[in-house]
A and B are shown apart, each in its own frame.
Chain A
Amino acid sequence: MAGKDKKVKVPRATMPEQAPEVRRRNFMEVPLGLTDEMAITEAARCLQCKKPACVEGCPVSVDIPGFIQKIADGDFSGAIERLWDKNALPAVCGRVCPQEIQCEGNCILGKKGSSVAIGYLERFAADKARELGSGTLPKVADKTGKKVAVIGSGPSGLTVAGDLVVKGHDVTIFEAFHQTGGVLVYGIPEFRLPKDIVASEVATLEKLGVKIELNSVVGTTVTIDELFEEGFDAAYVGVGAGLPRFMNLPGENLIGVFSANEYLTRANLMKAYLFPEYDTPIAKGKNVVVLGAGNVAMDAARTAMRLGADTVKIVYRRSREEMPARAEELHHAEQEGIEFVLLTNPIQFFGDDDGRLNGMECLKMELGEPDESGRRRPVPIEGSEYRIDCDLVVVSVGAKANPLLTNSTPDIDLNQWGNIVADPATGKTSKKAVWAGGDIATGMATVILAMGAGRDAANSIHDYLTIGW
Chain B
Amino acid sequence: MFKIVSREEMAQGTIILNEIEAPRIARKAKPGQFVILQVNEKGERIPLTMADVDPDKGTITIIYMVVGKSTALFGKMAVGEEYFAVIGPLGKATHIENRGKVVCVGGGTGIAVLHPITRALKDAGNHVTTILGSRNKDLLILEDKMANASDTLHICTDDGSKGHHGFVTDVLKDVLEKEDISLVVAIGPVPMMKFVSAITKEKGVETLVSLNPIMVDGTGMCGGCRVSVGGETKFACVDGPEFDGHKVDYDELSNRLRAYLNDEQKSVDESEKNA
Contacts and interface: CB of A to CB of B under 8 A. Distances in A.
Nearest to A241: B221
B179 interface: no
Interface string A256-273: 001101100110001100
B220 A404 contact: yes
Interface string B216-230: 110111111011100
A395 to B, nearest CB: 8
Contacts of B99: none
A414 interface: no
Contacts of B178: none
A178 B84 contact: yes
Contacts of A402: 219-221
Contact of B221 (A242, A277, A280, A355): A242
A280 B258 contact: no
Interface in A341-371: 354-356
A261 B221 contact: yes
B223 A276 contact: no
Interface stretch (A193-201, A216-224, A380-388): A216-224
B87 A221 contact: yes
Given A220-B90, A259-B222, A253 B228 contact: yes
Contacts of B270: 276
Nearest to B83: A215
B217 A177 contact: yes
B42 A271 contact: yes
A255 B24 contact: no
Contacts of B25: 221
Contacts of A177: 217
A253 B88 contact: no
Interface in B247-272: 251-252, 255-256, 258-260, 263-264, 266-267, 270-271
Interface in B172-229: 216-217, 219-224, 226-228
B38 interface: yes
A408 to B, nearest CB: 11
A394 B120 CA distance: 42
B85 interface: yes
A176 to B, nearest CB: 6
Interface residues of B, number: 44
A217 B233 contact: no
Interface in B1-52: 24-25, 28, 38, 41-45
A243 B220 contact: yes
Contacts of A275: 263, 266-267
Contacts of B45: 270, 280
A214 interface: yes
Contact of A355 (B24, B223, B238, B255): B255
B86 A215 contact: yes
Contacts of B38: 178
Nearest to B254: A355
B70 interface: yes
Contact of A222 (B24, B86, B264, B266): B24
Contacts of A281: 260, 263-264, 266-267
Contact of B85 (A214, A265, A355): A214
A277 B42 contact: yes
A337 interface: no
B246 interface: no
B192 to A, nearest CB: 20
A221 B24 contact: yes
A278 interface: yes
Given A178-B84, A220-B28, A280 B44 contact: yes
A433 interface: no
B256 to A, nearest CB: 6
A404 B252 contact: no
B211 to A, nearest CB: 13
B89 interface: yes
Given A221-B24, A283-B259, A354-B258, A262 B216 contact: yes
Contacts of A242: 219-221
Interface in A170-196: 176-178
Contacts of B43: 279
Contacts of A217: 87-88, 90, 219
A216 B220 contact: no
Nearest to A220: B89
Nearest to A275: B263
Interface in A220-253: 220-222, 242-244, 246, 248, 252-253
B122 interface: no
A271 B44 CA distance: 10
B24 A265 contact: no
A278 B256 contact: no
A188 to B, nearest CB: 15
B115 interface: no
Nearest to A178: B85
Contacts of B258: 255, 354
A439 to B, nearest CB: 12
> Which of B42, B84, B86 has the largest count of A CB atoms less than 10 A from its CB?
B42
Contacts of B260: 281, 283
Contacts of B42: 271, 277-279
A172 to B, nearest CB: 13
Given A220-B88, A276-B267, A270 B216 contact: yes
Contact of A262 (B28, B69, B223, B228): B223
A402 B219 CA distance: 8
A262 B217 CA distance: 9
Contacts of B233: 246, 248, 252-253
Contacts of A265: 216-217, 221-222
A216 B24 contact: yes
A266 to B, nearest CB: 7
B256 A355 contact: yes
Nearest to A354: B255
Given A279-B43, A354-B258, A404 B266 contact: no
Interface in B61-114: 69-70, 84-90
Given A178-B85, A244-B223, A261-B221, 5 more contacts: A176-B87, A259-B222, A262-B224, A276-B270, A404-B219
28 contacts: A176-B87, A178-B84, A220-B28, A220-B89, A221-B24, A221-B28, A222-B24, A244-B221, A246-B223, A248-B233, A255-B259, A258-B223, A259-B224, A261-B221, A261-B222, A261-B223, A270-B45, A276-B263, A276-B266, A276-B267, A279-B69, A279-B70, A354-B255, A355-B252, A356-B255, A402-B219, A402-B220, A404-B238
Interface of B: 24-25, 28, 38, 41-45, 69-70, 84-90, 216-217, 219-224, 226-228, 233, 238, 251-252, 255-256, 258-260, 263-264, 266-267, 270-271
